[in-house]
Amino acid sequence: MSRECENQSFTCAHCGAGVRPLAGGSYRNHCPQCLWSVHVDVRPGDRAADCGGPMRPVRLVQPRGKRLAVVHRCLTCGVESTNRLAVDDPMQPDCALAVADVQASALPNPISGAAPNDSPLERGGRRRRPPRR
């Protein structure tokens, strides 16, 4: 298989956006609108994974001297992979808002904060009395 075949446009499984290949010819495996990906690759572009699970952008990383990258975690099998962002792609740059969103939600604690009003506990111990006979 030639490498050109692997660098195709695709439709985002998360938000439905049409995703075009990068103008620079490097492989893009995530959606520029929502930054989600799909677990099809072991290494970027190789399509060697048969998982196919949705991959959520969980945090940003920037190795020293390298470009900003996003870490995806597969919701099906839990594997993580790092992918370079393409915020300066001339054709279809990664959405800066989505990138900022990932950055804002990248908490050290992996448990996402539950809304305070969303408590499953019922309001304190008032119990209806059994009817008198």
Residues at the interface with Zn ion (CB under 5 A): 12, 14-15, 17, 31, 33-34, 39, 51, 53, 74, 76-77
CB of 36: closest distance to Zn ion in angstroms? 5
Identity of the residue, 53 or 57, whose beta carbon is nearer to Zn ion in the bound complex: 53
Q: How many CB atoms lie within 10 A of CB 60?
A: 17
CB of residue 126 vs Zn ion: minimum separation in angstroms? 47
Rounded-to-integer distance, Cα 30 and Cα 37, Å = 4
Within 8 A by CB and 6+ apart from 110, the residues are none
Rounded least distance, CB 34 to Zn ion, Å? 3
Looking at the Cβ atoms of 12 and 102, the one nearer to Zn ion is 12
Torsion (CA) 72, 99, 10, 8 in degrees, nearest 10? -90
Query: Closer CB to Zn ion, residue 57 or residue 84?
Result: 57
Q: Least CB distance from residue 63 to Zn ion, whole Å? A: 23
- How many helices (H) and strands (E) would you count in the chain? 2, 6
What distance in Å separates the CA atoms of residue 87 and residue 94, rounded to the nearest whole number?
5
Nearer to Zn ion, 35 or 84 (CB): 35
